[in-house]
Structure 1
Amino acid sequence: MFLTYNRNHNFSPILEHVNATFNQVICSGASVFVIHNDSIVLEEYIGKQSNKSEARIVKEDTQFHVASVRKSYIGFAVAYAVFYGYIDSIDDPVLKYLPELEVSIWQDTTIRHLLTHTHGLHQKEQTVFREYPAGQNWTYRQVGIDALTQIIKRATKKTVSDIIHDLVFTPLSFSESDWYADRHENLMDVILRYEGDTQWKTSESTAGDKMNMYVSTRELAFWGYLHLKQGNIGGKQIVPKEIIQLATSVHSPTAIDQDLPQNGFLWFVKDLPAKKSEIGTGVPKGSYQILGYTGVTLLVIPQENLVAVRMFNSFGSPEGYDYLTDVRSFGDTLMSCLKIQSFNV
């Protein structure tokens, strides 16, 4: 994907914001990439790929562990399955596609509930149990993502990885985005908060169902740009625009509290004002964002024709660091940069 680099110093506060976060979290490297009005206006790389003395410096081809940002790719795969009729409706019960699940636990749960984190299910070890009725509240639980990846494979006979490679990675010649069973020199180390952090898990699966996805900063920004342009790159419709529209529209059940986060197909979407939104208050309606536990953030603001990415290789939040406040201010800082630009024009 070819975009012109046109450095815009009005976006310098975003670089300052990323540097400030870099100094607050436990990490060895970071980066930031902003596309505005179809030009790259900010691209910077900070630090090294690990804490080792001989570590490679962070470069354009460095790939960060994106953690839950992978859910935007899973959401895309669900939208693909809906658009092409493999899934009849997101209001279909999960049991229609996974009839082997325990009926008493899953009977009221739909695909919509899985996509919007409103399924009400939790899992400890191998036991799935219900925390609250489906569609009545919002919680961020892995059990729903696991079910979605199984539904995709069962319905389409393809893995998430198959779908993403066929529709996006291969047509756009992406070579720095994938799920990896083995390490290579371009992959960032993930810096844990403490030795032996049990929340950190790796996988050898390359099916797109596990948290072992690594993406370069520029290709994550281009993934966001594909969404911004509704699948049309350089005048060519790479994927049907309806897939993008499905993935990035609000689908949260109307019954949930309006102050809870609102979701598309796993994306956080800015719609009604919501106290618990993970998107900055100054970011306009229609914007959407995806976050990762490693500090990775992808924000798309269609109203401003803008995509912004920040990357870190931290794992979780150290004591004294308020992740939600920081990620909201990332979006609000972007909006202040646009105001500066408007003033300077």
Structure 2
Amino acid sequence: MSNHYQSLNEYVHKVQMEIGATAAATYIIKNNTVVNEWYSGRHAATKNSRIVDRYTQFNVGSVRKTYLGLAVSLLIEKGLIKSIDHEIGHYLSGYKHSAEGVTLRHLLTHTHGLIEKDGEIAREFKPGEKWAYRNAGINMLMHLVTHLSGKTLSAYMQEHVFSVYDMNETGWRTENKEHLIYNYYDDKNTWVGPNHSDAGDQSNLFVSARDMAKWGYIHLQKGCLNGKQLLPAEVFERLITLQTPDTVPANQPRNGFIWWLQSDTLLNQLGERLPGCSYQVLGITGCACIVVPKYDAVIVRMFNQLSNPNGYDYLDDIRTFGNLAYDLLTTCSGSRGR
């Protein structure tokens, strides 16, 4: 393995120490080749806890929402969703009043203007008027997948995606197992939320670094893996195509199906040096997946981040990480076969 990416791994280790994460990993694929695979730390702070390795599965936080996006795209491909410009109430009558005017496009791009307060749905702004990151829209999409498929999100993804792409180190987990980093749940107020449901409706999706890289890679290759088109390319093309309504001000983030697309805004999570075709997803635990089609590359970073310490700026961190990775991608010569 080349040490070309040593400076990137050293940066990730520095941040790991800064934020108090016990575990970290990086994984980079370029030109169908693994060019960097690095692991650091243990599953928990105790000396006898498991050492992080290629089998370790991290809780990926909101990265899980792109799995929901793919489920929606598959339902479109199957003809169960006719248009993302249909209102959510068209499919789920219970939302006809509370989400009037809110389309699937609004839900997929965080432009719906809805918020949950005390179990009730309230409106912050008109649909398509601006952008705001809220889970109310994600929960509606969860209900939509279950309603149209007749299955939970986790069961649907296992049958139609995980088993198809041999993603055996990916899944919603409800109890600790050897390969899981589970220290998130030591604190009853853990910021990743509850983990008692295996339906896919909670933030308890666990993924290994290499399966996370595969997740990005099948998007990069538009569903093709090892020369086989396992799902239609159109399913993936719509995921990373600009879907944000034109009515949203230009200085606010742009999304595909939940994926963040490269854009020049103050809230953008991608490093400014990453090419315009790049896209990314990030979770509260510090896990991130960046796809850079221009360089046929997928960049993954994994943490078990439990807090944001004073002085830590996560936006600056993730942008710096993306920029460093990009700089190294453009000069990389070392490689190792997948």
TM range (shorter): over 0.9
Which of these residues, 258, 264, 268, is aligned with residue 277 of structure 1?
268
The code of the aligned residue for 1:138 comes to: W
| Structure 1 unmatched runs, 5+ | 1-6
Matched, 1:57 2:51: yes
Pair 1:279–1:178, CA change in 2 (3 A): same
Shift of 1:275: 3.0
Pair 1:202–1:89, CA change in 2 (3 A): same
Matched, 1:80 2:74: yes
| Structure 2 unmatched runs, 5+ | 334-338
Figure out how many residues of one structure are paired with residues of the other and give that number: 333
SS in 2 for 1:215: strand
The code of the aligned residue for 1:86 comes to: L
The code of the aligned residue for 2:253 comes to: P
The code of the aligned residue for 2:284 comes to: Y
Shift of 1:102: 5.9
Output the CA distance in 2 between the equivalents of 1:163 and 1:127. 28
Correspondence for 1:106: 99
Correspondence for 1:290: 281
Correspondence for 1:66: 60
SS in 2 for 1:100: helix
Report if the CA contact (8 A) 1:299-1:309 is conserved.
yes
Output the CA distance in 1 between the equivalents of 2:307 and 2:102. 29
The one-character-per-residue Cα deviations of 1:139-187 (angstroms, maximum 9, x if unpaired) are 1111111100101111222322233222221122222100012221111
Moved over 6 A (4+): none
Pair 1:316–1:113, CA change in 2 (3 A): farther
Matched, 1:327 2:318: yes
Matched, 1:22 2:16: yes
Report if the CA contact (8 A) 1:120-1:139 is conserved.
yes
Report if the CA contact (8 A) 1:28-1:191 is conserved.
no
- Cα RMSD of the aligned pairs, angstroms, is 1.7
Report if the CA contact (8 A) 2:113-2:130 is conserved.
yes
Correspondence for 1:222: 214
Matched, 1:236 2:236: no
In the TM superposition, what are the counterparts of 1:144-293 in structure 2 within 5 Å?
Answer: 144-191=137-184, 196-197=188-189, 199-270=191-262, 272-293=263-284
Matched, 1:47 2:38: no
Shift of 1:195: 5.5
Matched, 1:303 2:294: yes
Matched, 1:93 2:84: no
Report if the CA contact (8 A) 1:190-1:294 is conserved.
no
Shift of 1:115: 0.3
Output the CA distance in 2 between the equivalents of 1:338 and 1:102. 48
Matched, 1:37 2:54: no
SS in 2 for 1:9: coil
Correspondence for 1:140: 133
Shift of 1:326: 0.5
Report if the CA contact (8 A) 2:176-2:182 is conserved.
no
Shift of 1:336: 1.1
Percent same amino acid among aligned pairs?
35
Correspondence for 2:5: 11
The one-character-per-residue Cα deviations of 1:79-98 (angstroms, maximum 9, x if unpaired) are 10111111111011011111
Output the CA distance in 1 between the equivalents of 2:176 and 2:290. 28
Report if the CA contact (8 A) 1:91-1:111 is conserved.
yes
Report if the CA contact (8 A) 1:50-1:191 is conserved.
no
**Deviating more after overlay: 164-173 vs 37-46:** 164-173
Output the CA distance in 2 between the equivalents of 1:295 and 1:231. 26
Shift of 1:273: 2.6
Shift of 1:198: 6.0
The code of the aligned residue for 1:231 comes to: G
The one-character-per-residue Cα deviations of 1:227-265 (angstroms, maximum 9, x if unpaired) are 111111111111111001011111001111112111011
Output the CA distance in 2 between the equivalents of 1:49 and 1:304. 32
SS in 1 for 2:291: strand
Pair 1:198–1:44, CA change in 2 (3 A): closer
SS in 2 for 1:133: coil
Report if the CA contact (8 A) 1:167-1:238 is conserved.
no
TM-score relative to the length of structure 1? 0.92
The one-character-per-residue Cα deviations of 1:15-51 (angstroms, maximum 9, x if unpaired) are 1221121011121111110111111111011000011
Output the CA distance in 2 between the equivalents of 1:14 and 1:88. 44
